[in-house]
Amino acid sequence: MLSIAIVGLPNVGKSTLFNALTRSKQADAQNYPFCTIEPNVGVVEVPDERLAPLANVSNAKKIVPTAIEFWDIAGLVKNASQGEGKGNAFLSNIKETDAIAHVVRAFSDGNITHVENRLDPKDDADIINLELIMADWQAVSSRLEKTKKNAKGAQAKEYVKELALLERLAAHLDTGKKASQLEFDDDEGKIMKELHLLTSKPMMYVVNMDDSQQSTDYRPVFEEGVPHIYISAKTEQEISELSAEDAKEFMADLGIEQSGLDRMIKAGYELLDLVTFITSGEIETRAWTVKRGTTAPLAAGVIHTDFIKGFIKADVTNWEDFVAAGGWSKMKETGKLRLEGKQYVVRDGDVMYFHVAT
């Protein structure tokens, strides 16, 4: 399962946000730094309005949406990369996840202590980004020293490309830029993947605002080209504690069409460059997650690894055509049911039935 780390300074609303996302109270959300030590981990369903109508025409007994795992990482502070505030342990937790949700405090509340004793969202974002960059610089410098020792004698030629990349990457990070801002070729990309750098991970900003700020045009941007989600974690937690019907009415009163959490979950899904294909029948209607560009056999392998080797073909149609036709039994009459082979690249919203050899 793909995972997203929720990071930021202490007392910016990370644990409140995590509790709202997971509809739980498992993360401590007290008014003091480092109230979270070990990361809290929760699985969150990805909202998908396509599943209910698909299940309806298939007479499915149940609906199974896809999901993302969220990790509530303890608050980082200035000099975390040097071990300040148990920073080394917290940074290592982030390495285990696939992407980062960087929570930035934009709300004012005198009852909630700010670790820097001021309210400056842009500076807060810069502090966390710098700590991630510094942690990466240390990792790259360590790898560079090790590579230099190995690149001697007959083995030197094997390390030419790696040495050049590491030296360029160390210099790049030293200027305060993220690893994701460095250009590299396909061969260098393989080395970059091995490094598991924090600033190589896809990231979005989650700006935690006052309710009054959300009703205005207050929309701070901390980094161009990076997704920004604007929410009130406090309000989102209130919404998460309501029934679906009451939540809908509450959001309508606030003038909210879609909860911030739903927007955040969907943004995370897009951030990880995922697409959803769907299987639908009487037993269940289920959403499946694959990376964009995945071929049909590998998509079948998400259901069961044996399906990769046994893949023969797949019946494929768009979910809207499937609903309009009234299910599999009537799809052939529409002329919109396609038979796809091993080279087919799965698209978001495909409804698929796999034929496999047993």
Provide the token pair at 147: 């590579």
| Binding site members for ATP | 11-16
Spatial distance between the Cα atoms of 332 and 317, rounded to a whole number of angstroms: 10
The token pair at 213 is 């700020």
Crossing angle (nearest 10°) for helices 160-174 and 121-150: 150
Say if residues 152 and 160 touch (Cβ distance below 8 Å): no
For residue 285, the Cα-to-chain-centroid distance in whole angstroms is: 24
113-to-15, 118, 234, 289 alpha-carbon distances in Å: 15, 9, 16, 40
Angle at 251 between CA 246 and CA 256, to 5 degrees: 160
Residues flagged as binding site:
11-16
Of all helices (H) and strands (E), which one includes residue 228?
Answer: strand 228-231
Contact assessment for residue 276 and residue 349, using Cβ atoms and an 8 Å cutoff: yes
Amino acid at 103: V
